[in-house]
Amino acid sequence: MSSTTPLLDVSGLTKHFPIKGGFPIRRTVGAVQAVDGLDFQVAEGESLGLVGESGCGKSTTGRLITRLLEPTGGRIAYRGEDITHAGRKQLAPIRSEIQMIFQDPYASLNPRQTVGKIISGPMEINDIHPAGGREARVRELLEIVGLNPEHYNRFPHEFSGGQRQRIGVARALALEPKLIVADEPVSALDVSIQAQVVNLLQKVQRDLGIAFVFIAHDLAVVRHFSQRVAVMYLGRIVEIADRDDLYGNPRHPYTRALLSAVPEATVQDEGVQGRERIRLVGDVPSPINPPSGCRFRTRCWKATEKCATEAPPLVQVEGNKPGHLTACHYPETTDVPATVPAPRLAKDPEAAA
Amino acid sequence: MTSTDQQPFLSVRDLKVHFSTEDGIVKAVDGLSFDLLKGKTLGIVGESGSGKSVTNLAILGLHDRDRTAIEGEILLDDKELLTASEKQLERLRGNKMSMIFQDALASLSPYHTIGKQISETYRKHTGASKSQSRARAIEMLRRVGIPQPEVRVDDYPHQFSGGMRQRAMIAMALVCDPELLIADEPTTALDVTVQAQIMDLLKDLQQEFGTSIVFITHDLGVIADIADDVLVMYGGRCVERGTKREVLRSPQHPYTLGLLSSMPNLEHPVDVPLNPIPGSPPSLLNPPTGCRFHPRCTFAEKVEGGLCSKEQPPLEVTNGRGSACHLTADQRAEFFTDLAGSAAN
């Protein structure tokens, strides 16, 4: 990280959703610990990928950054300005610089508004009058995202899923944002369309120098899109690193297991050793009552007493490059791939050799 | 591998499924043929609206009979399914053939315990007693890796996690030892680590019971993991088929090639943009003339005389391998090399 102020600086970010229960007086009886102490930075023009399985808190993180949710604790600073608990007034100018792209292109566009109205909406709200008028600006935006400017007066239902997602991108670009939070922007699209949208986002990011927080569960897409990647598990970041370090030298057992579980469309020759296969047993525990210490320990094949009592800090463990942080007491090493055969780990005998 | 001396267990011949809707006739499946041998897995790949799920509803006889026109032949173990009565089909479903769906929560009844739902199928088809079928349900839950099955058998679906529900559904589908299992995107709603568990489970169970599986998915990575043979569907038709190795290593149809090269994998060079297929899937109400892929095909203009937009290319299959494309083998060799190089490394 450079020494200048990062665009977005998040430290200790926490969000607990209260669970109400009891009769006749409803009390808070517990909390879903959706996000629990996140630290990360996003530099200007950089793309940070957030990956993890469902329920790991990645979408909540996105909504906290855009302040659609109120954090329970921690600090969010945008260009050095603390916006953790900022009110509507204080947020107004910042809101136009942080935009969001949503997963479902069917649910995130108002079916009763024309494309022109949808895309100019943000300009109306912020009372922006671009030179040449809003309509000209909308047409320009449609052009940028690869849609026909003549479609200005059409309604969302006249477009396919991929085209709708392009409309969502155009809307996010309308205010010339500095940061875009994209929450699973391609996962609702058909395979052949996903690549179109990924390419579009990449072009937008490069040409306009917009920083991205790219939330996705697809590791291959995240690798393609993000310069830095953070892996989340049950509300915490377990590993964060530059793309090449994370995918080339994963140190956290969870990162490793996640990478090995990605199905690849390749056929191995017989006798050729395939990729490492780590099969985790069981499911992600409930965030209402997460395991003590390291949250991954219930599915980890290396877990010991220490993991149950002491939460590992997110630090640069031995052998990591600067900026590569891992939260594990027993980080993996490249030369010995997951050797510990424990009952928790089901491994393919072929790949173990 | 496909061998000719073995009788196919499931055989679909020139299947056509047309729905009549307010807007016109939707040709969801338009002339599909395939064979599946015993104990093998056929992977059907396609995007939404390619007709892959409709094919399987037709096999199971689960389509709406009033609105659907079906032509062709579906032979299961030499028994014609399309002309079979609802009674006969009922005897087959859950017994000889069964199905796993994508959304386990929607496919399980929220009002009945998991154990009841599993044992119900078993009782219906075998006439076993309540206690026998309960024991069978517990045994099946154990088989699919549910911890403490004697306790969990009395749980309701909402008490199970997503992966466990999918396991319970697999247990339900396999309770009568079916010879044919149709799995329609069974892992799409799951996380990758759980997906890997379920795939391993299906492979183990297949080895144990010798089940034939039709595996429907949009994910070529999943296909590479589980299938023996692959059938690629586009716009209600089969555009390419062959063994997994043939289709993934040396695709013959531009659509298959497009799918392979548009997907980023973990080795894709990051500075190279992805290679998407332009346009979007066709409407089946009003499909393109000729080859249904031609409006999106990069090679359509290279075929002489605009043949692609005029004439539907025939699917010529020899030894289970074939594709429906007007490109000649020489043209393919010339055009495909650079793209295939980046896709199939």
Q: How far is B251 from chain A (nearest CA, A)?
A: 12
Instruction: Provide, as residue numbers in chain A, all residues whose Cβ is less than 8 Å from the Cβ of B218.
Output: 190-191
In this complex, the residue of A261, A266, A267 whose CB is nearest that of residue B196 is A261
Q: How much is the average pLDDT of A43-50?
A: 93
In this complex, the residue of A194, A257, A267 whose CB is nearest that of residue B248 is A267
- Answer yes or no: do A263 and B191 touch at CB < 8 A: no
Question: What's the pLDDT band for A7 if we cut at 50, 70, 90?
Answer: very high
The answer to whether residue A207 neighbours chain B at the CB level (below 8 Å) is no
If you measure CA to CA, which chain B residue comes closest to A190? B47
Q: Tell me what pLDDT residue A93 has.
A: 87
Sheet with B10-21, side-by-side order of all strands: B24-36, B10-21, B68-76, B79-80
Where are the domains positioned within chain B?
106-177, 250-343
- Answer yes or no: do A265 and B224 touch at CB < 8 A: yes
- Answer yes or no: do A199 and B276 touch at CB < 8 A: yes
Q: Is the pLDDT of residue B19 over 80?
A: yes
Q: Is the pLDDT of residue A339 over 60?
A: no
Question: What's the pLDDT band for A335 if we cut at 50, 70, 90?
Answer: low
Instruction: Provide, as residue numbers in chain A, all residues whose Cβ is less than 8 Å from the Cβ of B263.
Output: 191, 194-195, 220, 265
Q: How much is the average pLDDT of B309-321?
A: 87
- Answer yes or no: do A279 and B223 touch at CB < 8 A: no
Q: How far is A231 from chain B (nearest CA, A)?
A: 14
Burial class (CB in 10 A: 0-12, 13-18, 19+), B31: middle
- Answer yes or no: do A191 and B262 touch at CB < 8 A: yes
The C-alpha atoms of residue A122 and residue A108 are separated, in whole angstroms, by: 14
Burial B209-237 (b: 16+ CB within 10 A, else e): eebbbbbbbbbbbbbbbbbbbbbbbbbbb
Q: Tell me what pLDDT residue B164 has.
A: 86
The answer to whether residue A186 neighbours chain B at the CB level (below 8 Å) is no
Please, which residues bridge with residue B74 across strands? B12
Percent of chain A past pLDDT 70, that is, above it, reads: 92
Q: Is the pLDDT of residue B342 over 70?
A: no
The answer to whether residue A246 neighbours chain B at the CB level (below 8 Å) is no
Place of tokens 């009763």: A112
Burial class (CB in 10 A: 0-12, 13-18, 19+), B340: middle
- Answer yes or no: do A263 and B278 touch at CB < 8 A: no
In this complex, the residue of B223, B244, B276 whose CB is nearest that of residue A192 is B276
Q: Is the pLDDT of residue A78 over 90?
A: yes
Percent of chain B past pLDDT 70, that is, above it, reads: 96
Q: How far is A177 from chain B (nearest CA, A)?
A: 23
The answer to whether residue A17 neighbours chain B at the CB level (below 8 Å) is no
User: Which range among A293-297, B109-113, B186-190 shows the weakest confidence by mean pLDDT?
Assistant: B186-190
In this complex, the residue of B248, B264, B277 whose CB is nearest that of residue A223 is B264
The answer to whether residue A262 neighbours chain B at the CB level (below 8 Å) is yes
Give pLDDT tens digits for A181-215.
999 998 888 888 888 899 999 999 989 999 999 99
Q: Tell me what pLDDT residue A24 has.
A: 82
- Answer yes or no: do A191 and B218 touch at CB < 8 A: yes
- Answer yes or no: do A262 and B192 touch at CB < 8 A: yes
**ipTM > 0.90, yes or no:** no
Q: How much is the average pLDDT of A47-60?
A: 90
Instruction: Provide, as residue numbers in chain B, all residues whose Cβ is less than 8 Å from the Cβ of A192.
Output: 47, 258-259, 262, 276-277, 281, 296
Burial B309-326 (b: 16+ CB within 10 A, else e): beebbebebeebbbbbbb
CB B22 within 8 A of CB B80: no
Q: How far is A126 from chain B (nearest CA, A)?
A: 34
Instruction: Provide, as residue numbers in chain A, all residues whose Cβ is less than 8 Å from the Cβ of B222.
Output: 263
Question: What's the pLDDT band for A346 if we cut at 50, 70, 90?
Answer: very low
Place of tokens 């992977």: B43
Place of tokens 């009922």: B90
Q: How far is B225 from chain A (nearest CA, A)?
A: 7
Q: Is the pLDDT of residue A71 over 80?
A: yes
- Answer yes or no: do A283 and B223 touch at CB < 8 A: no
Distances from the Cα of B135 to the Cαs of A251, B147, B173, in angstroms?
44, 15, 16
The DSSP secondary structure of B132-184, one letter per residue, reads HHHHHHHHHHHHTT-SSHHHHTT--GGGS-HHHHHHHHHHHHHTT--SEEEEE
Question: What's the pLDDT band for A222 if we cut at 50, 70, 90?
Answer: very high
- Answer yes or no: do A192 and B274 touch at CB < 8 A: no
The answer to whether residue A347 neighbours chain B at the CB level (below 8 Å) is no
Q: Is the pLDDT of residue A249 over 80?
A: yes
CB proximity list for B8: less than 8 A, separation 6 or greater: B35, B36, B37, B75
Please provide the average confidence, as pLDDT, over all residues in chain A.
86
Radius of gyration (C-alpha) of chain A in whole angstroms:
22
**Rounded to two decimals, what is the model's pTM?**
0.84
If you measure CA to CA, which chain B residue comes closest to A206? B271
Interface test with A, best of B249, B274, B342 (most A CBs within 10 A): B274
Q: Is the pLDDT of residue B286 over 60?
A: yes
Instruction: Provide, as residue numbers in chain B, all residues whose Cβ is less than 8 Å from the Cβ of A272.
Output: none
Residues 73-102 of A with CB under 8 A from B: none
Going B35 to B37 to B38 to B43, the CA torsion angle's sign is: negative
- Answer yes or no: do A261 and B244 touch at CB < 8 A: no
Q: Is the pLDDT of residue A328 over 90?
A: yes
Q: How much is the average pLDDT of B103-115?
A: 89
Sheet with A73-78, side-by-side order of all strands: A27-42, A8-21, A73-78, A81-82
Percent of chain A past pLDDT 90, that is, above it, reads: 48
Question: What's the pLDDT band for A26 if we cut at 50, 70, 90?
Answer: confident
Q: Tell me what pLDDT residue B62 has.
A: 86
Instruction: Provide, as residue numbers in chain B, all residues whose Cβ is less than 8 Å from the Cβ of A148.
Output: none
